[in-house]
Amino acid sequence: MQNSLGYGAGWIVMRMQKEEKIVVVLLLMALGSLAVAFWAFGPEDDALAGVKNGDSGTKEEASLSVEGLVLEKKPTKSGGNLIIRLDSTPLPVFISSKAGAHEIQDKVNIGDRVRIKGTVSSFQGIDEITVDRATDVVSIGRK
**Do 29 and 85 sit in the same domain of this protein?**
no
Owning domain of residue 132: 58-142
- Under the banding of pLDDT at 50, 70 and 90, the label for residue 15 is confident
18-55 confidence digits (pLDDT tens): 888 899 999 999 999 998 888 887 665 444 444 334 34
- Provide the whole-model pTM: 0.56
**Do 88 and 113 sit in the same domain of this protein?**
yes
**Do 20 and 62 sit in the same domain of this protein?**
no
48 found inside a domain: no
**Do 75 and 36 sit in the same domain of this protein?**
no
Per-residue confidence (pLDDT) for residue 29, from 0 to 100: 95
**Do 80 and 35 sit in the same domain of this protein?**
no
Q: Report the C-alpha gap between 110 and 105 in whole angstroms.
A: 10
Would you call 64 exposed, middle or buried from its count of C-beta atoms within 10 A (0-12, 13-18, 19+)?
A: middle
Per-residue confidence (pLDDT) for residue 79, from 0 to 100: 85
57-115 confidence digits (pLDDT tens): 444 567 888 999 999 999 988 888 999 999 988 999 999 999 888 898 888 989 999 99
How many structural domains are present in the chain?
A: 2
**Do 37 and 77 sit in the same domain of this protein?**
no
**Do 79 and 36 sit in the same domain of this protein?**
no
At 101, which CATH number? 2.40.50.140
95 found inside a domain: yes
**Do 19 and 74 sit in the same domain of this protein?**
no
